[in-house]
Amino acid sequence: MANKITHALTTLITASGILVSANAMACNEQDYLGSVCLMAANYCPQGFAPADGSSTSNQMLKSVLGSDKLPSLQAPAGTKYCVSVEGIYPQRP
């Protein structure tokens, strides 16, 4: 059941154009700038910001997201979606 939920969330987030961390949506130090991860806590680790729709002044992040606002994602109770505000700038094809 949890695997189906994770797959559904990954599909939904990927379809919306947001990068998703490759390791089961967990936050790690090698994430791409702008990638989204799910924390099993109500806070985001250093180098990440809550995916709550707030504004960002980070120019590189704006170019990845295509907006000056972070995505607004509703997480299950006791968890939080986080956006990488530091990380590897994704190369474009």
Give me the pLDDT at residue 34, please: 93
Q: How far is CA 61 from the centre of its chain?
A: 11
Query: How does residue 5 score in pLDDT terms, banded at 50, 70 and 90?
Result: low
Amino acid identity for residue 17 in this structure: G
**Tens digit of each residue's pLDDT (9 = 90 or more) over 42-87:** 999 999 999 999 999 999 999 999 999 999 999 999 999 999 999 8
**Tens digit of each residue's pLDDT (9 = 90 or more) over 12-38:** 454 445 554 444 456 777 789 999 999
| Best CA proximity match to 87, nearest among 37, 17, 24 | 37
Report the alpha-carbon distance of residue 31 to residue 35 in Å, rounded.
6
- pTM for this model (two decimals): 0.69
E strand or H helix at 61, and its extent? helix 59-65
Q: Are 8 and 47 in contact (CB under 8 A)?
A: no
- How far from 28 is each of 1, 4, 87, 88, CA to CA, in Å? 24, 22, 10, 12
